[in-house]
């Protein structure tokens, strides 16, 4: 998985407005006004299904209607990777699925219909724009121990990038 911060709000610009109005800077006041745009690459569609449950967030994701899928482009969970029987079953199923997908596409079935057979493990790419309030809620929920390993990895990466960019907003995680 790769996560990249594409842009974020210049906190000084917001501070200037507050200073002009004589209002002291307070992270809680500006949470709705600081936005981040991220690129997320090569996480599974399992995880993006979890991700898009978060609201007031803008997503644009690679479409399977137009892009072809390959056996190489899948995520393998560590618990499957480390389990000999489990991995053999996983690998055989993926080979069968991709073989069927390729046969369908070669036979003229549109990609948008052949994709119905593709696994949730498939890797995907998307851009995501959200404000600090939505991101903090996402980080709070998805870095919790109950969250699944892959979205925890994603939420941790988002948290690190946002904290580096705007440390003043991330001195504590405000629960929502």
Partner 1 sequence: MKVSLAWSSPHPEKTMAVAMRRCYSTKPIEDIEAELEQKGPEYWKYLLGKALQDKSLDVLEHFVVTLAVEGVSQADMGVLTQSFPYLRATHLRLSEWLLTLNARTLVELWKDPRGKPLAEMIVTELSQRGVCPIFSELAFGVKVNAS
Question: For strand 2-8 and strand 123-131, is the pairing parallel, antiparallel, or unpaired?
Answer: unpaired
18 binds partner 1 (CB under 8 A): yes
To the query of whether residue 142 is one of the catalytic residues in this protein, the response is yes
- Residue 43 to residue 122: CA distance in whole angstroms: 8
Piece of the chain touching partner 1 by CB under 8 A; list 59-67, 78-86, 139-147, 166-174: 59-67
Active-site entry in 45, 115, 133, 142: 142
Taking CB under 8 A as the criterion, which residues in 66-125 touch partner 1?
66-68, 125
10 binds partner 1 (CB under 8 A): yes
Binds partner 1 (CB under 8 A): choice among 30, 75, 122, 162: 30
| Alpha-carbon separation of residue 153 from 2, 110, 116, 171 (angstroms) | 10, 34, 27, 20
Closest to 122 measured CA to CA, from 155, 153, 98: 98
- Residue 19 to residue 140: CA distance in whole angstroms: 30
Taking CB under 8 A as the criterion, which residues in 36-55 touch partner 1?
37, 39, 41
- Residue 104 to residue 78: CA distance in whole angstroms: 31
Binds partner 1 (CB under 8 A): choice among 27, 54, 61, 77: 61
172 binds partner 1 (CB under 8 A): no
Q: Are 5 and 103 in contact (CB under 8 A)?
A: no
Provide the binding-site residues for partner 1, judged by CB under 8 A.
2, 4, 6-7, 9-10, 13-14, 16-18, 20-23, 29-30, 32-33, 35, 37, 39, 41, 56, 58-63, 66-68, 125-127, 129, 131
Catalytic residues: 142
């Amino acid at each position: 998985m790769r996560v990249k911060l594409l842009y974020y709000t210049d906190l000084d610009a917001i501070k200037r407005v507050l200073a002009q109005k004589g209002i002291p800077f307070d992270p809680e006041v500006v949470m709705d006004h600081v936005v981040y745009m991220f690129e997320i690459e090569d996480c599974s569609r399992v995880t993006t299904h979890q991700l898009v449950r978060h609201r007031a967030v803008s997503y644009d994701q690679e479409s399977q209607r137009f892009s072809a899928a390959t056996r190489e482009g899948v995520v393998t969970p560590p618990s499957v990777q480390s389990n000999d029987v489990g991995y053999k079953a996983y690998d055989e199923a993926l080979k069968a699925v991709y073989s069927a997908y390729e046969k369908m596409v070669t036979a003229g079935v549109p990609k948008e219909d052949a994709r119905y057979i593709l696994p949730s493990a498939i890797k995907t790419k998307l851009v995501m724009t959200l404000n600090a309030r939505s991101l903090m809620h996402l980080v709070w929920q998805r870095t919790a121990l109950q969250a699944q390993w892959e979205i925890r990895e994603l939420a941790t990466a988002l948290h690190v990038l946002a904290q580096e960019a705007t440390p003043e907003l991330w001195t504590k995680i405000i629960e929502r």
